[in-house]
Every structure is written in structure tokens, then in C-alpha cells.
Amino acid sequence: MLHYDTTQEDGEPIVALSGGAARHPEYLGDLAGIGANGFRLVIPHLRGIGLSSGLEPASFWEQAADLEELRLALGRERLIIAGHSAGTRLAIAYAAQYPQRVAALVLITPPSTWLVPVPSDADTLIAPRRGDPAVDDALALWAGGPPAPTGDDAADDVTLNAWFRGAAPVTYARWGATEQAHALVGDVSARAARAYFAETPPDLPARLAAVTAPVLVVAGAVDYAVGLAPVQAVAGLFPHGRTVTIPDCGHYPWVERPDEFRTAVDAFLASL
């Protein structure tokens, strides 16, 4: 079974899924303290990551079974799941495979072009920041994509994390001390990341239409990593989906705009 951390012993669990893909979940922190009243965060270490590094890596589609095992271990009929970035793929996979077991979804800055036919508007969002040396250097790294695997997992971890951190300035709305410190938290596992991505069934949109639980999509208004327009479109895949867009915010809203993020998510949780 997956190892998981928890912020406290009591309260309705919110299962928080890290992105990366395959990034150690310590970068999530406590998600700005969302749901502090009556809730607790349960933060699994996904396969091949952190204290679950002994488990064989698997795709996000396959790891939905791990969340079902976690649900049973927590003794809950249904789960509230909050996923960030690539972690939203796992949240969506679980909802598609176990729709009756979902109490609510919070999808935080989800990659979305794999789900909706809406092109990314990331280049438009980043345009005002071009000319900043840190941004221009990060854009050059981003354009080249992550380094190709060599077959040496330890070496691949070093080069992938160097790329990830070098490209980080464009994933935040600004590149100040807070953002720079956060970008250093949580290593990515190259091996687990390679295993994470998977083909999804062609009927996935129809499956998501069967998810009757409420869904909140949190978008950053200037999120270069995933864009804005496709993220805003994702809520329409769910019968009870809605979007909140946080201004002056990139890919990490609980770090960049914690008050606005917590206000939006806490209001959603209070409505459940």
C-alpha cells in the first residue's frame, strides 16, 4: 500500500495528489491550510516516490487502484480528492474508474489539452515577461523539453531535476524569493515519471460525464505551464464542474496567492 502523510489525525480526509509528474509531495506543504476546520490532508507518496519508492512505478491510469485501496484503508465511502498538475491525471483516472466513490474533486492547475480540444494560450500569457533573463533562459529550457533518459536512473534523476529547476521561473507568475525557495522543494523521480503517462480510453469524456460529484477547477490566470483557456474548459466535462481563476497567479496558487486559493477552495468544501 502507498505510504501517506497526514496533517492531523482527525477530520474528513482530503487526499492530495502531487504532480511533477512523480515529484515528492513535500512541495505541496499543507496547501495553504485548506479545509483546516473539519478536514485533514492525506498526502500519498505515489509509486516510486519518497516512502513509496519500493513500489513498482505505474501509470496514472493503473494507480487509480492504489487510491481505491487507500479509500478502503481510510474507511470512507467516498473520497474528496485534490490533485495538482500531473496529479490531476490520477484524480481524473480515479473518478472515471470509480465515479461512485468520489465525493468531490479539486483540480489545481491541471494539464488539459489531453482532455479538451482547446489549444494552450501559454505563449500569450508569458509575452509580457519576455526580456527578463531568468524567464528567457527558462523558456529556452522549456522549449527543448526534459532531457532524454539514458538508462541510468540516478544520472537521469540529476539531469531531470536540473532541467525542472532551470525551467521553474516560467511556472510562477513572478520569480521572487518565495518562489525560488519553493522551486527547490521536492525532487522528481525520472523512472517513476516515465511510467506515469498512459493512453486513456477513447470513451473517457463519456465516463467523466457520469461523475456526478462536484468538481472545482483552479486556474492560474498567467500559468505558462498549462495555459489558461484549456484549463477553464475542463470544468465543462463534468456535470457539476466549475472554475475559479486566480489573478496574477501561475502554476502554484497555494504558494503564489495563498489567501485567494484558500478562500476559493474553502468555500467549495463548505458547500459539500
CATH of the domain at 148: 3.40.50.1820
Measured CA to CA in angstroms, residue 269 lies from 12, 37, 39, 153, 257 at distances of 11, 10, 9, 40, 18
pTM above 0.75, yes or no: yes
Query: What is the percent of the chain with per-residue pLDDT over 70, rounded to a whole number?
Result: 100
Q: Any idea how long the chain is?
A: 272
Q: Is the pLDDT of residue 199 over 90?
A: no
DSSP string, 25-47: GGGGTTGGGTTTTTEEEEEE--T
Q: What is the model's pLDDT at position 200?
A: 87
Measured CA to CA in angstroms, residue 205 lies from 6, 120, 208 at distances of 32, 19, 5
Q: Is the pLDDT of residue 36 over 90?
A: no
Q: Is the pLDDT of residue 23 over 90?
A: yes
| CA gyration radius, the chain | 17
Q: What is the mean pLDDT of residues 58-81?
A: 98
Q: Is the pLDDT of residue 206 over 90?
A: no
The total number of structural domains in the chain stands at 1
Q: How far apart are the C-alpha atoms of 80 and 101, rounded to whole Å?
A: 9
Q: What is the model's pLDDT at position 8?
A: 85
Mean pLDDT over all residues of the chain?
97
Confidence of residue 106 (pLDDT cuts 50, 70, 90): very high
Query: What sign for the dihedral angle of Cα 166, 162, 179, 28?
Result: positive
Q: 154 is in which domain, residue-wise?
A: 4-270
